[in-house]
Amino acid sequence: MKKTLILVLILVTRILIYSQNTYVFFGSFNCDKTTEGIYVYQLDTIKGKLSKVSSVKDILNPSFLTLSPDGRYLFSCTESKTQNAGSVSSFEFNAKEGKLSFLNSQKSGGENPVYVSVHKSGKWLVNGNYTEGSVSVYPISENGTINPAVQNFQFLEGSINKGRQDRAHIHSAVFSPDFNHIFFADLGADKIRAYKFDSEKNQPLQMSSQPYIKTSLGSGPRHFTFHPNGKFAYCIEEMGGAVDVYRYENSNLESIQRINTHKGQHQEEYESSDIHISPDGRFLYASNRGTENNMVIFSIQEDGTLKTVGYQPTLGKQLRVFDIDETGKFLIVANAASGDVIVFKRDAATGLLKKAGKKIKITGVSSVKIKRY
């Protein structure tokens, strides 16, 4: 009896420690440096409640966030949606106090930075600029500061939709599972661009054997992700309202399926946005903005193809991004237009979602990242 009680107490203690050390970071389109731009919350992993810990001012429009592999540093696209501007910024995170400290910024190498990724070594940062379609590569110092860019690649060609695709528009930068390649979803050119990434070289981006793969004309590829097993990849089309499924082998992508994300009638143009896979690799989630404001849930088959499970309203307007915690228990959405942050609890068996805790309000919420410390 005594032994059982001790085991129960140990289990409860571990749960409480985990709950107290899971942080959620939010970016926002604050449009004013005197107002809060990045927010730090704690996630109660029992009830799904979010509690504000701290925030950062003196930065403008932090549109996308990512963390170093060890969680010590947070990197952000800043000055997004600001004419003739654009930067990437670094912050040090004190997990004991739950506070961010600004380190430095560098020019993004283009207007409107929208996506940043960090190499697993923690030594490289890659940024995608939307408006003029370019990517920049930066060395990261041991103290977390960002050094000036060592590479900047500019893409030019657009596609068939002259209103949206007059030129290249890079919307994401995602490393392969082995971090030896990186892929850029180009909404403007209807391409997923690929480069080798040699982290030992001074200029790590190198030409790939498959420099790009074409998507459907007018589809507008936006965000991209790999399956945990490294055998499959998935891209959500912002304008086409579909998810493209690829087999990934020998560093090359092979298209195997294209499946709709929307349950409504055919639209002239869609506004799909983000895509993530549950840590167990069983379910894929893709978000729809526009008139539907929902999330489609797919089950992932053994061959990597998708099967629609259902739809979940996002309980807000214009879900820009969402994230899943590393246990797969919670999914948190950022509804940019309505400024609503909603926590959903995942059913691991069915993949379905259920609202947990109370929604919080963050004006223009643009990005969300979850990290257990």
Output b/e per residue, 336-361; b: 16+ Cβ within 10 A: bebbbbbbbbbeeeebbbeebbebbe
> Which residues are 247's β-sheet partners?
232, 254
Mean pLDDT (whole number) for 301-326? 97
Count of other CB atoms within 10 angstroms of residue 98? 18
Least reliable range by pLDDT among 14-23, 93-102, 228-237: 14-23
pLDDT confidence band for 2 (50 / 70 / 90): low
Amino acid identity, residue 19? S
Which residue has better confidence, 14 or 191?
191
Q: In the predicted model, is pLDDT for residue 107 greater than 70?
A: yes
Q: Point out which residues pair with 22 in neighbouring strands.
A: 372
Beta-carbon neighbour count of residue 52 at 10 Å? 15
Selection from 213, 216, 212, 264 nearest residue 239 by Cα: 216
How many helices and strands in the chain, by DSSP H and E?
1, 28
* Residue of 351, 278, 359 whose CA lies nearest to 312: 351
Say if residue 53's pLDDT is above 70.
yes
In the predicted structure, residue 185 carries a pLDDT above the cut 80: yes
Q: Which of these, 109, 148, 129, 321, lies nearest to 223 by C-alpha position?
A: 321
Q: Cα separation of 192 and 169, whole Å?
A: 11
Above 80 in pLDDT, residue 12?
A: no
Q: What percent of the chain has pLDDT over 70?
A: 93
Side chain identity, residue 333:
V
**pLDDT tier, 44 (very low <50, low <70, confident <90, very high otherwise):** very high
Q: How confident is the model at residue 93 (pLDDT cuts 50, 70, 90)?
A: very high
The pLDDT of residue 18 is above 50: no
**Which tokens is 87 given?**
């930067």
Q: Count the neighbouring beta carbons within 10 Å of the beta carbon of residue 7.
A: 10
Instruction: Work out the mean pLDDT of the chain and round it to a whole number.
Output: 94
Pairing of strands 181-186, 191-197: antiparallel
pLDDT digits (tens, 9 = 90+) for 134-172: 999 999 999 999 999 999 999 999 999 999 999 999 999
Which range among 17-26, 198-207, 226-235 shows the weakest confidence by mean pLDDT? Answer: 17-26
What is the distance between the alpha carbons of residues 209 and 103, in angstroms, rounded to a whole number? 37
DSSP, collapsed to helix, strand or coil, labels residue 255 as strand
Q: Would the pLDDT of 70 be above 60?
A: yes
Cβ atoms of 127 and 173 within 8 Å: the answer is yes
Strands (E), 262-352: 272-277, 283-288, 294-300, 306-313, 319-324, 330-335, 340-346
